[in-house]
Amino acid sequence: MSVVTESAAAPPGPSGLESALDRVGDRWSLLVVDALLESPRRFGELREALPAIAPNILTDRLRRLERERILVSTPYSTRPPRMEYTLTGDGRDLASALRLLADWGSRRTGGEPLRHDRCGTPIEARWFCPTCAVAVGDGEISGGEETRLV
């Protein structure tokens, strides 16, 4: 008598959102990235920009973001070893996501929304198809569950 067992399907990989959160999903990591969007900074400059972060937490987040290739450290002194931190292309690509999060948070706490410099109108974030040159609604987006937030 032989027993046939069904092989279990491989569990799905992490979604796009899960992958992003694994790389930069905590408060301090996002604030470090935000602080580096303006320009490269040294450790002390990051401490000034983020006064509430403990030095050991900042060190941990900088190392983690470097492992994830969100930033790179470049020595500017060897004795003692001191680094300057610069965002990589992946790190700079987070700027739009951070702006959206900041705008979302601001709107929920009574703050000012992001505005168009030319006319002062609050801006809206939309998906855009460059081929069709049209705004795309959530119901018109495909590409697998890993890329959808709906």
pLDDT, residue 116, reads 93
pLDDT, residue 48, reads 97
Question: Domain spanning 16-92 has what CATH number?
Answer: 1.10.10.10
HEC profile of 2-43: CCCCCCCCCCCCCCHHHHHHHHHCCHHHHHHHHHHHHCCEEH
Domain ranges of the chain: 16-92
Most confident of 19-23, 32-36, 108-112, 136-140: 32-36
Residue 73 has pLDDT above 60, yes or no: yes
pLDDT, residue 146, reads 46
pLDDT, residue 6, reads 53
Q: Is 142 exposed, middle or buried (0-12, 13-18, 19+ CB in 10 A)?
A: exposed
pLDDT, residue 29, reads 95
pTM exceeds 0.85 = no
Average pLDDT over the chain, rounded to whole? Answer: 88
Give the position of tokens 């996501």.
97
Q: pLDDT tens, 12-40?
A: 788 888 888 888 889 999 999 999 999 99
